[in-house]
Every structure is written in structure tokens, then in C-alpha cells.
Amino acid sequence: MRKFIITLIALTAAVCAFMPRAQFLSPSSPANKLRMAEAAIAQFYVDSVNEDKLVEDAIRGMLEKLDPHSAYSNAEETRELNEPLQGNFSGIGITFNMAQDTLYVIQTVSGGPAERVGILAGDRIIEVNDTVIAGVEMKNSNIMKRLRGPKGTDVDVKVLRRQAGMTDTIDFTITRADIPIYSVDASYMVGPNTGYIRLNRFAAETPREMNEAITKLRGQGMENLILDLVDNGGGYLNASIDLLSELLEPGSLAVFTEGLNSPRNDNYTLPEDMKPLFADGRLVVMVNQYSASASEITSGAVQDHDRGVIVGRRTFGKGLVQRPLPFPDGSMMRLTVAHYYTPTGRDIQKPYTKGDQDGYAEDMLDRFNRGELMHQDSIRYIDSLRVNTLRLHRPIYGGGGITPDKFVPLDTTEFTKYYRNILAKGLINRYVINYVDTHRKELLKEYKNDNDYVERFEVTPAMLEELYHLADAEKIEFDAEQAQLSAPLFSMIIKALIGRDVFDNTTYFKVYNRHDPIFKEAYRIITSDEYDQLLSPPDDSALPLRKAS
């Protein structure tokens, strides 16, 4: 026992030697207690322990007792989290699907390493560096690790290629290079003077991509813009502010942050001597319940400044600012330090209970169960959180997330159990891969471009029957009534995926948007008088509303 006490005192002294003076003078502080506990476990525990994991578990445990967005990631997780936001990675440059446990190349990146050596859409990669990856139930993440690597290094792949009724295997050596990750999924004209841009995240290259997309569309006659932020989970704050700098008047307040230990910090758009790319013309922003963080900063500022109309469903409500705190081993703690507030002072963050991660995760299910996603009158408005927009003084609401100016209900009519089961088995992708494999040449010959394809290609009843036969083979019980209900959805997804595989990602959205209720409402509003009605001052008889501070 005496030896234990002497050793523990020595450990305590060693720990305190590295503490700031204020903490050294307080040996009973929680930080000292935690360090002493870890040191004692490492020194005296009956069995061997993994100290790295012990410390990681302790950090995760502490953060779980805080807000829902403070988090810890190990070195590998940190790389995976940062990669999509940094704008590129080193690899071979393909878009792929896993079809029946085989890697199927959908597209090669234009000018990328795979395209340069002759990899083609439709090829199946079956080996990577003499390791078989087909038919062995290898995880996507493990396959990607084998294909990615440092720039300039080589990777050997064996490809199965079907063409002209024959099947060949071909060996390729591909030199890895930097591959861009795009945040703009699609940009095209949807009418004589209306453009559409689909943004999937706010990343390092987003401002450049958005500038190029806006410039291109303006060159094609765009006077009005539909900005699609549906399912956009956010990303970098600066990317959002840069985008708002192209949409709002110069020098406008875009967002401000504030926390207990973080004084208020105002973020403004471009200086007043700079000219935005699209500060005039009609603007509609599409959002839904999965639009979060930077998407909410963007849509909230557009709404607060009366710059455009927000269409869709109430956004996620992620308004907490995380400060990244990297550790020497490459791991990172993202600690919440402040709240995001829209220019009118609305707190974007939805309510939460500290430590109740499960309850927070179930919020979306709660919204569905209480009917908020289907019925506008089920949305909970809190009178004390009403504010006025900055220019027209329209009443809008805080309380978490951005409530749209025009609500679009979630339509689940076509989403049947039969459709869900087929989708979950990956059968739609499998069917599309097989179809494109067989018909790629005739599709390219029949349709001169993707617009021609979108206008003329039709998914036939015979094609749907082929899909249903695939489902039968997977022991998914056929339901005639549900199949009929889901037929328009099946047809749209099949057409969109075939278009993406034969042409590009924009083709997918050209097809999808014709079916999407949020897009259809956005387009209707931006081309009608209702746009001006939604952006009108309230009736003089309306009660005055307070502005949040």
C-alpha cells in the first residue's frame, strides 16, 4: 500500500508539472482528477490496457454529455470527414457502383488517370494490386482504400469488359493523381430565363464552382435562379458567406456567432465596392428537413434580407459552431463554442437536451409522426420567437431551423413497402447497370444529347416487368397494387440513373426535377406573380412584431 501511495503521489506531481499555473495551484480540479485516474489505470490495473483507446473513450464519453454536435474523431475518421470538404483526393478518377458484389464503373472523371489509360464506363474492376475485390463481399471503404493513395503512385487493376457480345479481361496500370470532388451537382437552364443550380455541400471549392455556374447560366440568358439546397448538410461557414456575397447587396450581414466564451462575431458579405454576380433577379431557394448548417445560414440570410423565396420544408436546425481542435496524432475534437444566428437574430439551432443523443436523433421521426412533414398546420410556431424581415418587415419565426415561405408537403404515396424492399436490395441499380451494358451504344446513337434523351426516352412496362422479375429472384413478394402505385417512381429513378450513366450527373437532375414536388413548386413560383406576393410587406393591420436581438 505504501508503494502504491508513493507512486500515485509521483504520478500526480508529474501530471501537475505540465499543467498551467492556475491548475497547478488547484490539484483537486476536475482536469487533474481525470489525468490522475488515467495514470493510475495505466500503472496499476490488473490487466494490460490500450491507453490510446482508453483516452479516446474518455473524450467521447465527455462529449456525449454535451450538445449533439460536439464530437471526437480518430485520425482515419478525421481524414474521411475532411476529404469531401477539401475539394480533392488522390485516386484513379472513377464514379462507381457495387453491383452483385462487383465494382461497376459508371463514369470516369474527364481527363483523370482512369480515362487516360482507357478505362470505360461499364467496365468491372475485379482485382486491385493482385487482390480480388469481386465476389468477396468487400466493403466499399476497403475498396476505396486500395484505389486511393498518394499522388504519383501506381495501382494495377484487372478489368472485365463486355463489348460486341464478348467478354475480355484487361490489365491496366494507373498512376494516381489529384481528383476533384465537386459540390455543384448540376447547373442548367430550366426555362427561357430561369437557371437551376444543385449544391450538395459547402466545401473549399464551392465559391469557385458557384461563380462558374452562375457566370455560365447568365451567359445563357439567366435572369432568375433556383438554388437547390435540398439534403445539403452544410460544410464550411466561409463558403456560405462567399455564396451570399454573390446573392446579397455588398456589405450585408450574413450571419453572426456568439457563445458564453465566444464574443459576438459578425460576418458580412463582400465590401460595398465589390459587385455581386446575382444580386438582382428572382431567387428561390429549395430546402427540406435535411438541409442543415451552412444551408440554413444561406437560406436564413436570403429570407431575412427579403432577397428571395424559401420553398420546401423546415430545415434541420443545426446552428451550433464547432471549433476543430486537432491532436498531434491526427485525431480531432470538434467542440461546440457558439451558436449561429441569422441577421434578424434567429437562433438556427433546434432545442435539445444535453446528453440525450437518442432523443435528438429521433427528432425527424417526431416531425413525421406529428404530421409536420405532410401538413403545414402541424408546424409549431412560437409567437415569442416571431421577428420581422429586415427590408419588408414580413413576419418570420425562430425556434430552430428555417421555416420556408412556401411549404411543400412530403408525398409518400408512391413510396410503398414494395418499392422500399426493391430499393434496399440494390435491384434498381443492378437493373440499370445491366440495361446500360446492353444498350449503351444504341442510346448514344438514338439521342443526340441529354436534352433529347430527357424529352423522348420512356421507361416501358416491359422494362418494369424485368425489374419485377429481378425482385422475384430475390424473393421479394410481388404486390400488384403497390407496384402500380410505385410505377411512376420506379420509372423516374430508372430513367434518371440511365441518363446519368450514359450522359452525366446533370441528366439525372433534369429527369428527377420533373418529378420532384419541391422543384415543381419552386419553378411555378419563380415564373408567376406569386413570387411578388410572397415578397410583399404585410398588411397594415398586422400586429407589430419584435425584432430579436
- Examine residue 498 and state whether it is found in any structural domain, yes or no: yes
User: Which band of pLDDT confidence, cut at 50, 70 and 90, is reported for residue 145?
Assistant: confident
Q: For residue 317, what are the CA distances in angstroms to 95, 290, 299, 320, 352?
A: 32, 9, 12, 9, 10
Please check whether residues 92 and 205 belong to one and the same domain: no
Total domain count, the chain:
4
Q: Residue 15: what pLDDT?
A: 41
**Cβ within 8 Å of residue 405, ≥6 positions away:** 303, 309, 310, 311, 534
Q: Residue 100: what pLDDT?
A: 67
Please check whether residues 296 and 397 belong to one and the same domain: yes
User: Which band of pLDDT confidence, cut at 50, 70 and 90, is reported for residue 211?
Assistant: very high
- Examine residue 533 and state whether it is found in any structural domain, yes or no: no
Please check whether residues 295 and 401 belong to one and the same domain: yes
* CATH number, domain with residue 282: 3.90.226.10
Q: What is the arithmetic mean of pLDDT over 213-239?
A: 96
DSSP letter at 350 equals P
Q: Residue 549: what pLDDT?
A: 39
Please check whether residues 399 and 282 belong to one and the same domain: yes
**What pTM value is reported for the model?**
0.84
- Are 341 and 259 in contact by the 8 Å Cβ rule? The answer is no
pLDDT above 80 for 431: yes
Query: What's the count of helices (H) and strands (E) in the chain, helices before strands?
Result: 20, 21
Question: What residues are annotated to the active site?
Answer: 293, 304, 318
- Rg (Cα) of the chain, in Å, rounded? 27
Residue in 507, 490, 536 with CA at minimum distance from that of residue 449: 507
Please check whether residues 125 and 257 belong to one and the same domain: no
Q: Residue 88: what pLDDT?
A: 66
Mean per-residue pLDDT over the chain, rounded: 88
The string of pLDDT tens digits covering residues 177-200 is: 888 788 999 999 999 999 999 999
Q: Residue 3: what pLDDT?
A: 47
- Are 107 and 436 in contact by the 8 Å Cβ rule? The answer is no
Please check whether residues 175 and 232 belong to one and the same domain: no
Last residue of a domain, one of 407, 431, 449: 407
User: Which band of pLDDT confidence, cut at 50, 70 and 90, is reported for residue 543?
Assistant: very low
Angle in degrees, 0-180, between the axes of helices 480-502 and 505-512, rounded to the nearest 10: 150
Q: What percent of the chain has pLDDT over 70?
A: 91
Q: For residue 109, what are the CA distances in angstroms to 113, 352, 413?
A: 8, 42, 37
Q: Residue 162: what pLDDT?
A: 75
- Are 316 and 350 in contact by the 8 Å Cβ rule? The answer is yes
- Locate 325 and state its grid cell: 481542435
- Examine residue 472 and state whether it is found in any structural domain, yes or no: yes
The string of pLDDT tens digits covering residues 355-372 is: 888 888 888 888 989 999
Please check whether residues 208 and 312 belong to one and the same domain: yes
Q: What is the arithmetic mean of pLDDT over 456-464?
A: 97
Rounded-to-integer distance, Cα 410 and Cα 452, Å? 30
Please check whether residues 401 and 474 belong to one and the same domain: no
Q: Residue 180: what pLDDT?
A: 78
Lowest-confidence region among 296-300, 332-336, 379-383: 379-383
pLDDT above 90 for 301: yes
H-helix or E-strand spanning residue 167: strand 166-175
Rounded-to-integer distance, Cα 115 and Cα 289, Å? 38
Please check whether residues 188 and 176 belong to one and the same domain: no
- Are 392 and 532 in contact by the 8 Å Cβ rule? The answer is no
Cβ-based neighbour number of residue 333 at 10 Å: 19
Lowest-confidence region among 218-222, 422-426, 459-463: 422-426
- Are 99 and 140 in contact by the 8 Å Cβ rule? The answer is no
Q: For residue 308, what are the CA distances in angstroms to 238, 407, 536?
A: 21, 15, 11
pLDDT above 60 for 516: yes
Last residue of a domain, one of 180, 203, 235: 180
- Examine residue 35 and state whether it is found in any structural domain, yes or no: yes
Q: Residue 506: what pLDDT?
A: 96
- Examine residue 102 and state whether it is found in any structural domain, yes or no: yes
Q: End-to-end CA distance of the chain, in Å?
A: 60
What are phi and psi for residue 293, nearest 5 degrees? 55, -115
The string of pLDDT tens digits covering residues 333-352 is: 999 999 999 999 999 999 98
Q: Which residues pair with 258 in a beta bridge?
A: 339
**According to the 3-state scheme, what is the secondary structure of 257-285?**
EEECCEEEEEEECCCCCCCCCCCCCCEEE
Rounded-to-integer distance, Cα 21 and Cα 17, Å? 9
List the domain range (segments joined by +) for residue 422: 417-515
* CATH number, domain with residue 112: 2.30.42.10
Please check whether residues 198 and 302 belong to one and the same domain: yes
Residue in 354, 353, 287, 285 with CA at minimum distance from that of residue 315: 287
Strand 283-287 relative to strand 262-268, pairing:
unpaired
Rounded-to-integer distance, Cα 52 and Cα 1, Å? 28
User: Which band of pLDDT confidence, cut at 50, 70 and 90, is reported for residue 456?
Assistant: very high
- Examine residue 227 and state whether it is found in any structural domain, yes or no: yes
- Are 204 and 231 in contact by the 8 Å Cβ rule? The answer is no
Q: Residue 6: what pLDDT?
A: 44
- Are 248 and 254 in contact by the 8 Å Cβ rule? The answer is yes
Give the number of residues written for the chain: 549
Q: What is the arithmetic mean of pLDDT over 530-541?
A: 86
User: Which band of pLDDT confidence, cut at 50, 70 and 90, is reported for residue 542?
Assistant: very low
DSSP letter at 47 equals S
More confident residue, 95 or 532: 532
Please check whether residues 92 and 142 belong to one and the same domain: yes
The string of pLDDT tens digits covering residues 70-108 is: 989 888 888 877 776 766 678 898 888 776 678 888 778
User: Which band of pLDDT confidence, cut at 50, 70 and 90, is reported for residue 498?
Assistant: very high
- Residue whose grid cell is 465596392: 273
- Are 278 and 215 in contact by the 8 Å Cβ rule? The answer is no
Rounded-to-integer distance, Cα 137 and Cα 129, Å? 17
Please check whether residues 192 and 322 belong to one and the same domain: yes
- Are 319 and 548 in contact by the 8 Å Cβ rule? The answer is no
- Examine residue 259 and state whether it is found in any structural domain, yes or no: yes
- Examine residue 537 and state whether it is found in any structural domain, yes or no: no
Rounded-to-integer distance, Cα 143 and Cα 399, Å? 43
Last residue of a domain, one of 180, 209, 226: 180
